[in-house]
Amino acid sequence: MGPIGENEFFFLMQGLKWTVLLAIVGFIGGGIFGILIALLRTSKTKVARTITAGYIGVFQGTPLLMQLFVVYYGVALLGIEVNAWIAVAIAFTLHASAFLGEIWRGSIEAVPKGQTEAANALGLHYVSRMKDVILPQALKISMPATIGFLVQLIKGTSLAAIVGFIELTRAGQIISNQTYRPLLVFGIVGAIYFIICWPLSHAGSGLEKRMAKAAR
Amino acid sequence: MLNSAKDQPTLISLEDVQKWYGAFHALKSISLSVRKGEKIVLCGPSGSGKSTLIRCINALETIEDGKIVVEGQVLDGSAKSVDAIRREVGMVFQSFNLFPHMTVLQNCTLAPMRVRGTSRTDAERLARKFLERVRILDQAEKYPAQLSGGQQQRVAIARALCMEPKVMLFDEPTSALDPEMVKEVLDTMIGLARDGMTMICVTHEMGFARQVADRVIFMASGEIVEEAEPEVFFKSPKHERTKTFLGEILAHH
């Protein structure tokens, strides 16, 4: 058994950096496309609704691990050389946009119909109606679920190890193999995930409670 | 009657309007014309189509047949005609429908800024003018949830007025209010009527109808059953359904 010293800890921190970066990329990419998905999903055009429903169905109905595989090796098969970063960023963006799109679709529909009617009666057009009236209310409604998904996404980044990414879990595995102290190493790794995710979950349920109170 | 609208030009006309919800015939050959400055009260039992009728005028509902003209603009379902009509027609809802994430002032400035392209300064000046008119300017920086129902409805009236509409539609504006708040909203509406606004009000407030209406229209089962000046309407209703309805509604007032 080897010691777990400064170097090993530094290595884990390197892994943590990638974990956080992956989650941020997935969340931002997924957020931008997710809004688009949610808007198409709630649009008047049936084709747009059907296509986005299919998109959401595919990405919610298949494992993230498989999605990573498909993007990483699938894109390579097309003859395009992509590094792991790009492939993983694309996969996480697709994955997150499907889930966030569906969460936000629900929130948009949860905004009372009277809000749309009032906006229409005032002559507001689609862009203003969405940007100024509906989306701010929908995003507020969606906050607990959105934060919940962010927590899932942070933990889900560990799957990026499969395509050769040394993020936190993979870094832990490497250290564990070097030091033969799996329990200690993964204890530390688990604690790091917990330190990041727990405050988020806590904030999410706090928001939920406050909103439940406000709705009474 | 507060003023005579008899010689004024027609502002709104409905010809033979038909509206279906699936198999339910919600509006049956409705024809109605409203002159500039006229105040019309629409009443009738629930499900009689009165709300549907006014919601067709600003295209919140589509019609299956017939013709709606507002200020010379035919409502043909095109985005252009809908825009043109909504610019002239303001609406106040039973459930206020204020935007809860905006202050009272922001509620009032949003549409002028986005639809008319008014600058923020001008929109705020306009908003303050109308908030003062509904006597709620002191609450301008508050959020709707911090106000009482009556105050919220007055803000909703001010918000609609900020678009400087030629007609105001009221869809049961006092039905969701506690009794002690009904008066402040009705007083605001009476004030608006006195200033010459053209108004179509769906309401069961018969005192209001007596006081300001030029015509009271009674609807039942999607049809206009009877229309008359308020004195005639209340004193000597012709149809049996009108008599029954008035009997029921006046017994509670």
Q: What is the pLDDT of residues B32-85, one digit of tens each?
A: 999 999 999 999 998 899 999 999 999 999 999 999 999 999 999 899 999 999
Nearest to B60 among A112, A120, A140 (CB): A120
Q: How far is B96 from B19, CA to CA, in rounded Å?
A: 25
Tell whether B95 lies on the interface with A, counting CB pairs under 8 A: yes
Cite the DSSP H helix spans in A4-45: 6-41
- What ipTM score was computed for the predicted complex, to two decimals? 0.92
pLDDT value of position A213: 72
Interface test with A, best of B85, B101, B126 (most A CBs within 10 A): B101
Least Cα distance to B149 among B77, B95, B208 occurs for: B95
Q: Smallest CA–CA separation between A110 and chain B, in Å?
A: 14
Amino acid identity of residue B208, one-letter, is F
Tell whether B113 lies on the interface with A, counting CB pairs under 8 A: no
* pLDDT tens for each residue of B98-140: 999 999 999 999 999 999 999 999 999 999 999 999 999 999 9
Nearest to B97 among A117, A124, A132 (CB): A117
pLDDT value of position B1: 46
User: What's phi and psi for B84, nearest 5 deg?
Assistant: -60, -40
Nearest to B91 among A112, A121, A128 (CB): A121
Would you state the structure tokens that stand for residue B135, as one six-digit string? 């006597």
Q: How far is B217 from B202, CA to CA, in rounded Å?
A: 9
Q: What is the pLDDT along chain A (216 residues), one digit of tens a residue?
A: 677 788 888 999 999 999 999 999 999 999 999 999 999 999 999 999 999 999 999 999 999 999 998 888 887 788 877 788 888 899 999 999 999 999 999 999 999 999 999 999 999 999 999 999 999 999 999 999 999 999 999 999 999 888 888 899 999 999 999 999 999 999 999 999 999 999 999 988 888 888 777 655
Vertex B238: Cα angle to B233 and B239 (nearest 5): 110
**Where is average pLDDT lowest: A82-91, B156-165, B226-235?**
A82-91
**Where is average pLDDT lowest: A31-35, B201-205, B248-252?**
B248-252
Pairing, β B89-92 against β B73-74:
unpaired
**Secondary structure (3-state) at B219:** strand
Q: How far is A140 from B204, CA to CA, in rounded Å?
A: 37
The length of chain B in residues reads 253
Tell whether B100 lies on the interface with A, counting CB pairs under 8 A: yes
CATH class belonging to A6-215: mainly alpha
Q: Smallest CA–CA separation between A135 and chain B, in Å?
A: 11
pLDDT value of position A66: 92
Q: Which residues of A touch B91 (CB under 8 A)?
A: 118, 121
Taking CB atoms and an 8 Å limit, are B110 and A114 in contact across chains? no
Q: Where are the domains of chain A?
A: 6-215
Q: Are B216 and B43 in contact (CB under 8 A)?
A: yes
Mean pLDDT of chain B: 93
Tell whether B110 lies on the interface with A, counting CB pairs under 8 A: yes
Q: Which residues of A touch B90 (CB under 8 A)?
A: 121
